[in-house]
């Protein structure tokens, strides 16, 4: 019988925050859905414009996930503690989920406003590149042995990859009139009655992000504990 791998501070935080985040998510979702249903219909785009209340918040969740991946990877390189590597993996997985949903809602909105599902617009192209970049990060982790060398390489990869985020955000301004994507939202750019649903969308999806991240951190901790126990039992059998 081997000792169980002790729970880290990050995993204890995840266990504490998961239930409150889940309750907050359930309550916010109901309020958010009501506010979107009662938001005014855009006079130009019609009802399809209501994707605004989910599409940009998904983008912000994507950015947050990949930034946490980079920060956790940096801390791992500095301190070489495996819980930070596990946080990086968890954040990347949640970030890829948000990015996937963003790329599903984007073409739906584009079909209703531009008349086509996809255009090689600068932002759409960079978003697709960002999605592939972090999908490759997850594939790298899943097909590797999970050792220290892999964790270090993944940490550097995550730090370098995060450079695409400011490019993704500012690419519209860089290409100016060559981009057909709407400009970044600024103060006062939303119409009357649209501000609260948009704010609630951001808060609700942030709660979803926190809940999913805490759940994934717990799962990664359990996987590490099981691997630790299996290695200990194998070592014991060899000694026996």
pLDDT of residue 173: 76
pLDDT band at 22 (very low <50, low <70, confident <90, very high): very high
Residue 66: burial class (beta carbons within 10 Å; 0-12, 13-18, 19+): buried
Domain extents in the chain: 9-228
Per-residue pLDDT, averaged over 190-218, amounts to 91
Per-residue pLDDT, averaged over 135-145, amounts to 86
Question: What class has domain 9-228?
Answer: mainly alpha
High-pLDDT (> 90) share of the chain, %: 50
Per-residue pLDDT, averaged over 149-175, amounts to 88
- In this predicted structure, the answer to whether residue 96 has a pLDDT above a threshold of 50 is yes
**pTM of the prediction?**
0.87
pLDDT of residue 208: 97
113 or 88, higher pLDDT: 88
pLDDT digits (tens, 9 = 90+) for 27-61: 999 999 999 999 988 877 888 889 989 999 999 99
């Amino acid at each position: 019988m081997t000792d169980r791998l002790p729970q880290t501070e990050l995993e204890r935080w995840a266990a504490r925050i998961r239930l409150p985040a889940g309750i907050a998510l359930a309550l916010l979702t109901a309020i958010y859905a009501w506010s979107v249903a009662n938001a005014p219909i855009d006079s130009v785009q019609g009802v399809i414009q209501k994707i605004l209340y989910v599409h940009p918040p998904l983008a912000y969740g994507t950015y947050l996930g990949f930034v946490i991946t980079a920060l956790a990877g940096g801390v791992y390189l500095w301190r070489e503690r495996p819980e930070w590597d596990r946080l990086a993996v968890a954040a990347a997985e949640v970030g890829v989920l948000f990015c996937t949903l963003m790329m599903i809602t984007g073409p739906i909105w584009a079909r209703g406003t531009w008349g086509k599902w996809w255009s090689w617009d600068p932002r759409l192209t960079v978003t697709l590149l960002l999605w592939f970049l972090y999908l490759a990060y997850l594939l790298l982790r899943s097909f590797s042995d999970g050792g220290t060398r892999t964790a270090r390489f993944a940490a550097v990869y995550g730090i370098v990859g995060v450079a695409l985020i400011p490019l993704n955000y500012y690419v519209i301004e860089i290409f100016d009139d060559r981009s057909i994507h709407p400009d970044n939202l600024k103060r006062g750019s939303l119409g009357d009655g649209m501000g609260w649903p948009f704010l609630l969308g951001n808060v609700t999806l942030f709660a979803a992000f926190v809940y999913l991240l805490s759940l994934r951190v717990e799962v990664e901790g359990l996987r590490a504990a099981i691997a630790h126990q299996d290695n200990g039992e194998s070592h014991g059998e060899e000694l026996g």
